[in-house]
Structure 1
Amino acid sequence: MKAFVNRIVAYVDEHGLNYQHVCIVVPSERMIAYLQRAFYEFHQKPVLSPKIVTIDRWIQDASPFPVLDRTSLLFELYEIFKADPVEIDVNTFDSFMTWGQTLLSDFDEIDRYLVAPNQLFKNLRDIREIENWSFNSTEELSKGQIQFMAFWDKLKPYYLGLEERLKEKKVTTKGKAYRDFANQIERAFEENQEAQFVFAGFNALSESEISLMRQFVIMGRGHILMDSDEFYFNDLIHEAGQFQRELCRRLEVQALPFVENRLMNKKMDVRIVECPQFTSQAQVVGSELKKLTGEQLNNTLILLADEGLLSSILKHLPAEIEQANITVGLPLRQTSLRSWVDLIFRLQESFMRRGNSSIYYRDFIQFAHHPFILGVLSAAEKREIQEIESRIINHNWHFLDCKKLDLSKRLEELNRLVFEPWKQDWLQGIRIIQQLNEKLDLWLEEKNELERAIIRRFASATVVLQNIMNRNAPKMNLGSFRNLFNGNWSNETIAYFGNPLEGLQIMGLLETRGLDFDRVLVFGLNEGAMPPQNIINTIIPMDLRKYFGLPTPREKQGLFAHHFYRLLHAANEMLITYSSASESVGSSEPSRYIQQIELELAQMNPGIRIQKAFYTAGNREKVETTSIPKTDEVINRICEVLRDGISFSMLDKFMTCPLDFYYRYVLRFGEENKVEEDIESSTLGTIIHYVLENLFSPFIDRYDESGRKISGKAVTEEDLAQMEKKVPLLVSKSFEKHFSEDQNSWQTGTNHINFEVAKEMVQNVLRRDRAILKENPGKALFILGLEKKLETAIVINSDSYDDENSSGKAFEVRLSGVCDRIDQFDGIHRIIDYKSGSVSQEKVELKKTANQENYESAILINKRKGSPDQKYVLQLLIYCYLYYKSTGILTDKAGIFSFRSIRESPHFLNLPDDVQKEDIPDLLERILKQTISDMLDKSHPFVHNKDSKYCAYCN
């Protein structure tokens, strides 16, 4: 069967219409190219085709006045509103914007649908009066109700005032251009008195469009060609044919050319594929395209039911496809431009909120890593950015002063533009953005062709807004300007280059009007995507819209239904994909069109064969547990780690999870360095340690400049009381140092709570020491060391290690640790470790069960199983061992001071009766040698300990 565009050409020829006098009016730009090719194919040679134009362009060309853009119209309406305001808290442009745009849409529809404004506004006011009236009320209307009613009284003056204002300026609106043309049809013949008009491929028409067509038909100068099918045209309740039936009724004809009977008689294969994710649909479509030849692709359409999936389908286009034409274009709002504009406005909001030009570090990092900036920077400039980021992390900077950053010339210039406050001068803001566009366009490298195209399209839209703002921009806040700015560019697209007549065609539904394809692949046919959820923003109630013939959601659904069914006319094959992923409300539902094809069309036409399938990407291979064999290279690396020094935390990590130990210490995968915005528990502990060290330092033995020893003095209750008074200042200095003197970072919010917690914890430690001294009068407390690093060497014999620099199989392991506090109380040496967490006595008790051979095996087993029992025993044993090796003194007591259980602290290591403090060195050496032997045992690879939690690396 002939395609619709070929039938149009045949109709023009059959009716002897002179090409010189014929104007063919169509609904879309895409249809023009197909019609021109149809004329060439009909004549088999180049010919001068009739004039072919879209209806929007035709009407605007016929208007004696230019159509004003939407933003300028909003400004004009605001000027009218200011001259005659309504006191309903809408006295600024910012609040006016919320309903001004809706009002413009309603005014436009009033004109386009030839509604009598006097009658509509009167009925609208009457409805609002009824809503405010009650049978049982004897009270007068409140002030708010009176203002509310006054607003509806103002709608007619606003409408008429805007009309007069635009007449004075000799401009018009699109709706007014339609109304005026319908009322002055003679304009169509000003250039050509013999003109004939062919209206082809229209569906949903406004009242002004129907009026135009009807007048031309009555004059014998109009021809209306439909592309319809008896299946839905003759079905009085089918939404796909409602507009065409209405057009025939208004023209007082039974039918218009061309209403054919294709859908009831044709053969068509329909495959419906349900996909578990949105993006997996692209894999289905891509697989189907691989099966098609070049000639088949010329008659194939990919219909994007959800145009947001365009980037997904582009990634899955097979390499074999040589030609593809994308009509929808790439929306700028789906590119990196969106994050760029968001960053620019977020900075301005920050400047206004804080009243200074300091920059939040995350915004600076986003700026430095944005594709636009990365496309500009040289290798040296990128290293410069890395150095700045290192400084930010090392100094824990939250806010930056870009003027103090040492930057290259180009970076300095970009920084100056991006991070310059606009100070509510929106034209200045536009000029700065334009300068940024110029720099980026100039400096972007050739390989960044997409980014350059985005910037150029964006720059063009920015010039349009600048011209509008220069003319008549009212005062507004940053939020309103941002909305205007985004509305100006967010609907712009970047056109893809392609042949509109050859190869695979990728289109949205509206671009398919008037076009036919043998093969249609519908991508993303979910309810809500097609038909779309057409929410109408209007101040006119739906029943009143219905009465005056204005569009309602029902009409909008009928519009899309016809566009979809029209594609079935010529299609012999159809592949439909939809997603069952419940990522948003309603998104997992297949479109109603799928069920209509299956339950209506296929039931009446057995030639339509439907197959259903569920797409699966196949079973993934089972992921094997990570196992790292201990090769000679790995063993040598472990020995390097051991020689460099091993601590309790490293031993604890190996016992808890060998694989975690391998990643963290053998491969040196450390924690990611980052700016700490909220004080973490580890940092809070460090701050408390720092303050306690400063408070107790004056009481430790020290040496003067000449090397003479100055003995420390005993700590008294009075000393501790004086220390308490110093705590707030010392904690404050610690926080200032951590936050690089940015007091705003910790004087409010979570960090201020942590500040108060730190003060309270330090004071609690001092109070506990005072209580102990008070309970033990006459006993002296001496501080022997604070944050004291102790270390020693242990000789290890291992058959696994072979180093030519070592003597035999023996090598030294350096063991080290930092003791928070070493003191002497009543002549007893004590080692105390501060903990911010809660500690109980059972966690510092050395014990074993009946089935455990000895105490070292009990400690090792508890560690491997992650048992909380004896959690701190090994750590305290190590401290006792290190102190003994350093001083020759066997520690009397070693314990944990918990900041959360102050009254019970310190919790001292409790040894069983069969273990004395003299046994500690041998006991610990056995534990160390057994652990290190396990590390170097080649028969046991590094694997995850199933009893411990997965770390970021193990997982």
Structure 2
Amino acid sequence: MQTFLEETVAQIREQYTVDEHLVLVVPSKRAGLFLLQLFAKTAPKPGFAPAIYTIEEFVSVLSGIRYATNTQLIFELFEVYRGLRGKEAESFHEFSKWGGTLLQDFNEIDRYLISQEKIFSYLSAIQETDHWYLRPDKTPMIRAYIEFWNSLEPLYNAFSEHLLNMNLGYQGLVYRKASEAVEQYALDSGKTHHVFIGFNALNTAEQVIMKTLLSHDKADIFWDIDPVFIQDKVHDAGYFIRSYFKKWKSLSAKHLKDSVESYESHKEIRIIGVPKSVSQAKYVGSLLNRLASENTSFQKSAAVVLGDENLLNPLLNSIPPSISKVNITMGLPLSQSPAGSLFNEFIALYVNWKGQGWYHRDLLSLLSHPYIKRLFKKPDETLDRLGSMVRDQNWVYIRPSHLKEVKSGDEQIFSLLFSEGFATPSKLLKASSDLIKALIDRFKLDGDAIGLQYLTKMESVFNETEAYVNKYEFIADLRSFQSLFRELMTRETIDFYGQPLEGIQVMGMLESRNLDFETVIITSVNEGILPSGKTHSSFIPFDVKKEFRMPTYKEKDAVYTYHFYRLLQRAKNIYLLYNTEPDVLEGGEPSRFISQLLTEKRKAGNIRHIIASPSLTLPEPVQESIGKDHSVLETLKERASIGFSPSALATYIRDPILFYKKYVLGIKEPEEVEENIAANTFGTILHASLEHLYTPFVGSVIDPEKLNLLIPQIPQITRNAFRDHYPNVSLESGKNLIAYQVIQKYLENYLKMAIEESKKHRIEILAVEQNVQISLDIPGLPFPVYLKGIIDRVDKKDGMLRILDYKTGNTKKSEVEIGEWGEIITDPDKTKAFQMMSYAYMFHSLNSSESFKAGIVPFRSLEKEVFLFGYPGTVGNGTSRKENVINTQALDAFKEQLHQLLYSLFDLQIPFEAKVE
């Protein structure tokens, strides 16, 4: 296979004298590197190499203006913006959210040589036709909106003049000035001849430059495109070059005479669907391993092109040992390194600082970072101690005084990381630099070369950050400092070292320009990635762009089409991978490029479409079962001597495995800081508040007037309950404020309902939150078994004893009614009925009441009456009905079921088994 660059070098040697007067212009540095190598290989004798420029370098030479960095541009734009707006200017942090978009628009306007006066007046006129503009009573927001559009032209003019005074420019400004200077350059260029190699989508400034040099016979163009795409009048791969041949008078058919038709040559194309993105990286690894085992020489002309460059990390971890050499053209973004994540967290900790302290999750996350742990003498012990204190004290926000309580011997590290003094950019910058130095010293001792590389890069980022902080006084708050740091870190990459001209090339789509390979593997060939879709980060509307012939997503799609098909032109073995799982974040359905390939008649017979998936063997479902032995029995005996609660036995009914883990093994749920009130805490506070409200009435009949006097006290009673059970948390905002208000509303509604009830009925309170415990005499169990619990409320309503349980969760009446007594210990949905009868049984055992009722007060539906426990009863004719009055017969029936439940619990022959759903 002869590559495009090999063809180009051969033609250049035939047509031109290769010396210092020959200037070659290419789209990318990588293409220039390969081009220079080919000239060296084909040189018959030592001599001068031609001058090779990238298009950006050549344009800068033409204009005489240097490119400013993106970071420098956003700062200079803000300086100009602030000078125009004065006191009305937004902060840099707010400006940075839209300043980048405005820079892109300025760049596009200049690259396409749009008249600034026309487009800005056009944009302003559009806003004037808006109904906002016509409103007589304009709000401050509307006035600011209109003023923004009217200020664009003055801002553009002032910014351009500001940059030119410093001999700097953004890309578009440099291109505009180069297009203005190219005529004189052509006249003064003497013997210099220019060859533009492998271009496709040209902006207006580039077109002017090339057409001017062509008209002066000072240039030639070598197009990297198969003639088939020119001849096909609708194929997007030839969209731009067809238009140039149609519009440029200086172009003629001779400029394509040497193009070789290679796209329709025999190719083996494999279209492979793989679920999710990381799976594509794994598949590429297995594919490379298979190709290497079949033919090791394939590595000399093979490339992996990443449609989504975020796949670089997983791909690097998937390359097999059989691949001897890999050249990675992309750098690893510093933001994806451990050092990047560390300082992102460190700076965010102070940006998110609240007056009450550091957010506990942010602080613990920072201390858990692998780099930070290496600074501590005993990191795990220190973290465990601090974590336990945070959970025990329920510290949602941690103050420096809290950290002093952690006696670990690492106070110096804590002072390096945490201080209330790091409240300004300069102070936080100094703290970050000190932390880097401490880490570098530690890594040098450990001999961690890769870690040192990350930290050295990060040190350079902070040095650059310091320069900007010292230069621009408006970086005065931590959010602006954070924006600057992220901008600089995003631009920084960690370069890979290797032989750039050897081995498998791993690159992005744009880096593949002008390069050809026999074996090409392209990943992420999905809509939204290849092509990128209808992204529109611009203040200029679509129809305005069309009017001024600026590029839209349609032109961008044509660019992606060209790059995709150009890679396929000379390749012999092509593998196209796409994600089979539609995902908005990672690309949608398979790309239109795949559909286009599958429908092309010229490729019939050369394409195979497969769906790749790992082989999976599903294990046979096995019911989880845990046998009992004597050690388990001894633990259960200990529990029995302390006392089982109704909720513990209800857990055994619902899920024996969970009962085993919780009450036999003693495994507790991990304790966490309660930032937002949990369901059990919600219930605890409600119970505590009700206990406080009703305790004065114990032993007496409720007086509705006295009960009414308690309603104004509800807010303070609830707040006291929060203070006792849920300390260190503010109730002034967020979900906790909502929970606080909901509990107050529950209590208020309940008291109002109780007041109305006490006016119509005689309600006597006998007990609230009563602790009860009884001994169970179970034949066959030669050891004591106790049942214990807390009865929320015992009262008499018109002489009928009631045992009531408060429930704040979802409760249905059917859950406290049974169809037959056996359900109460076998049906997981009847555990509330089991709990109610357990409380009733304990109360009866202690008080020997003849008959009573038991029920649940459902706080989520207080408009309904108490859900009374119901069990099967009969009437005279033998028909069944639900009985609510619990009598001796009902208690005996429950006692029998309770004994059966405990027999099964202590029976060594009956294992703990998961419920079959």
TM-score grouping bracket, smaller chain normalisation: 0.7 to 0.9
Which deviates further from its counterpart, 907-916 or 398-407?
907-916
1:792–1:574 distance in 2 versus 1, CA, 3 Å? same
1:4 paired residue number = 4
1:161–1:925 distance in 2 versus 1, CA, 3 Å? closer
1:201 paired residue number = 198
Q: Structure 1 residue 121 and structure 2 residue 123: aligned?
A: no
Q: Structure 1 residue 305 and structure 2 residue 301: aligned?
A: no
2:323 paired residue number = 321
* Separation in 1, partners of 2:541, 2:697: 82
Does the aligned pair in 2 maintain the 1:26–1:54 contact within 8 Å?
yes
SS of residue paired to 1:490: helix
* Separation in 1, partners of 2:813, 2:82: 76
Does the aligned pair in 2 maintain the 1:329–1:493 contact within 8 Å?
yes
* Separation in 1, partners of 2:693, 2:574: 80
Does the aligned pair in 2 maintain the 1:839–1:898 contact within 8 Å?
no
Please tell me the residue identity of whatever aligns with 1:42.
T
Which deviates further from its counterpart, 582-591 or 146-155?
146-155
Please tell me the residue identity of whatever aligns with 2:31.
M
1:217–1:18 distance in 2 versus 1, CA, 3 Å? same
* Separation in 2, partners of 1:129, 1:517: 51
1:802 paired residue number = none
What are the Cα deviations for residues 296-329 of structure 1, in whole angstroms up to 9, with x where unaligned?
A: 1332211111223333433433343333232233
1:934 paired residue number = 904
SS of residue paired to 2:789: strand
Deviation of residue 509 (structure 1)? Answer: 0.5
Q: Structure 1 residue 627 and structure 2 residue 624: aligned?
A: yes
Does the aligned pair in 2 maintain the 1:9–1:38 contact within 8 Å?
yes
1:428–1:264 distance in 2 versus 1, CA, 3 Å? same
1:270 paired residue number = 269
Deviation of residue 574 (structure 1)? Answer: 0.8
* Separation in 1, partners of 2:676, 2:151: 53
Q: Structure 1 residue 564 and structure 2 residue 561: aligned?
A: no
Provide structure 1 residue ranges, at least 5 long, that are not aligned to the other structure.
701-712, 798-809, 850-854, 948-955
1:866 paired residue number = 829
Deviation of residue 735 (structure 1)? Answer: 0.6
Does the aligned pair in 2 maintain the 1:24–1:200 contact within 8 Å?
yes
SS of residue paired to 1:568: helix
* Separation in 1, partners of 2:730, 2:393: 14
Does the aligned pair in 2 maintain the 1:627–1:941 contact within 8 Å?
no
* Separation in 2, partners of 1:821, 1:410: 49
* Separation in 2, partners of 1:643, 1:142: 76
Q: Structure 1 residue 788 and structure 2 residue 810: aligned?
A: no
1:727–1:221 distance in 2 versus 1, CA, 3 Å? closer
The aligned runs of 1:578-589 (5 Å cut-off) are 578-584=578-584, 587-589=587-589
What are the Cα deviations for residues 814-873 of structure 1, in whole angstroms up to 9, with x where unaligned?
A: 4241333697989x997945322588999778x875xxxxx5x4643xx43534784445
* Separation in 2, partners of 1:86, 1:904: 66
1:392 paired residue number = 390
Which deviates further from its counterpart, 684-693 or 386-395?
684-693
- Out of 721, 744, 767, the position equivalent to 1:756 is 744
1:513–1:791 distance in 2 versus 1, CA, 3 Å? same
2:675 paired residue number = 677
Deviation of residue 610 (structure 1)? Answer: 1.1
* Separation in 2, partners of 1:746, 1:171: 49
Does the aligned pair in 2 maintain the 1:22–1:197 contact within 8 Å?
yes
1:281 paired residue number = 280
The aligned runs of 1:273-422 (5 Å cut-off) are 273-293=272-292, 294-334=296-336, 343=345, 347-348=349-350, 350-351=352-353, 356-374=355-373, 376-378=375-377, 380-405=378-403, 406-407=405-406, 408=408, 413=413, 417=417, 420=420
1:803 paired residue number = none
Alignment length (residue pairs): 891
Q: Structure 1 residue 775 and structure 2 residue 762: aligned?
A: yes
1:34 paired residue number = 34
Aligned-residue sequence identity (percent) comes to 24
* Separation in 2, partners of 1:490, 1:292: 35
2:609 paired residue number = 612
Does the aligned pair in 2 maintain the 1:525–1:576 contact within 8 Å?
yes
Does the aligned pair in 1 maintain the 2:647–2:835 contact within 8 Å?
no
Please tell me the residue identity of whatever aligns with 2:614.
A
1:759–1:148 distance in 2 versus 1, CA, 3 Å? closer
SS of residue paired to 2:17: coil
Please tell me the residue identity of whatever aligns with 2:310.
G
Does the aligned pair in 2 maintain the 1:516–1:571 contact within 8 Å?
yes
- Out of 775, 783, 788, the position equivalent to 1:812 is 783
1:596 paired residue number = 596
What are the Cα deviations for residues 760-802 of structure 1, in whole angstroms up to 9, with x where unaligned?
A: 4885798699779x838xxx9766x9543525375775xxxxx
1:706 paired residue number = none
Deviation of residue 269 (structure 1)? Answer: 0.9
Please tell me the residue identity of whatever aligns with 1:612.
H
SS of residue paired to 2:66: coil
Deviation of residue 284 (structure 1)? Answer: 3.4
Q: Structure 1 residue 164 and structure 2 residue 147: aligned?
A: no
Q: Structure 1 residue 740 and structure 2 residue 727: aligned?
A: yes
The aligned runs of 1:893-908 (5 Å cut-off) are 895-896=854-855, 898=857, 900=859
Please tell me the residue identity of whatever aligns with 1:309.
L
* Separation in 2, partners of 1:368, 1:875: 48
* Separation in 2, partners of 1:170, 1:223: 30
Deviation of residue 201 (structure 1)? Answer: 2.2
What are the Cα deviations for residues 642-693 of structure 1, in whole angstroms up to 9, with x where unaligned?
A: 4564332222222233233233333434333222233334223323444565
* Separation in 1, partners of 2:894, 2:334: 66
1:680–1:213 distance in 2 versus 1, CA, 3 Å? closer
Deviation of residue 231 (structure 1)? Answer: 0.8
User: What RMSD in Å do the two structures reach over aligned CA positions?
Assistant: 4.9
Q: Structure 2 length normalisation: TM-score?
A: 0.82
* Separation in 1, partners of 2:305, 2:238: 21
* Separation in 2, partners of 1:906, 1:274: 56
Please tell me the residue identity of whatever aligns with 2:627.
K
2:913 paired residue number = 943
Please tell me the residue identity of whatever aligns with 1:273.
I
The aligned runs of 1:408-807 (5 Å cut-off) are 408=408, 413=413, 417=417, 420=420, 425-443=424-442, 453-474=453-474, 482-533=482-533, 535-539=535-539, 545=545, 550-584=550-584, 587-600=587-600, 603-604=601-602, 609-630=606-627, 632=629, 635-636=632-633, 639=636, 642=639, 645=642, 646-691=644-689, 729-744=716-731, 749-757=737-745, 759-760=747-748, 775=762, 787-788=770-771, 790=773, 792=775, 797=780
What are the Cα deviations for residues 157-179 of structure 1, in whole angstroms up to 9, with x where unaligned?
A: 44443343334334333333334
* Separation in 1, partners of 2:33, 2:152: 43
Q: Structure 1 length normalisation: TM-score?
A: 0.79
Deviation of residue 346 (structure 1)? Answer: 5.3
What are the Cα deviations for residues 384-428 of structure 1, in whole angstroms up to 9, with x where unaligned?
A: 2222222222233322213322345757655765664765x4455
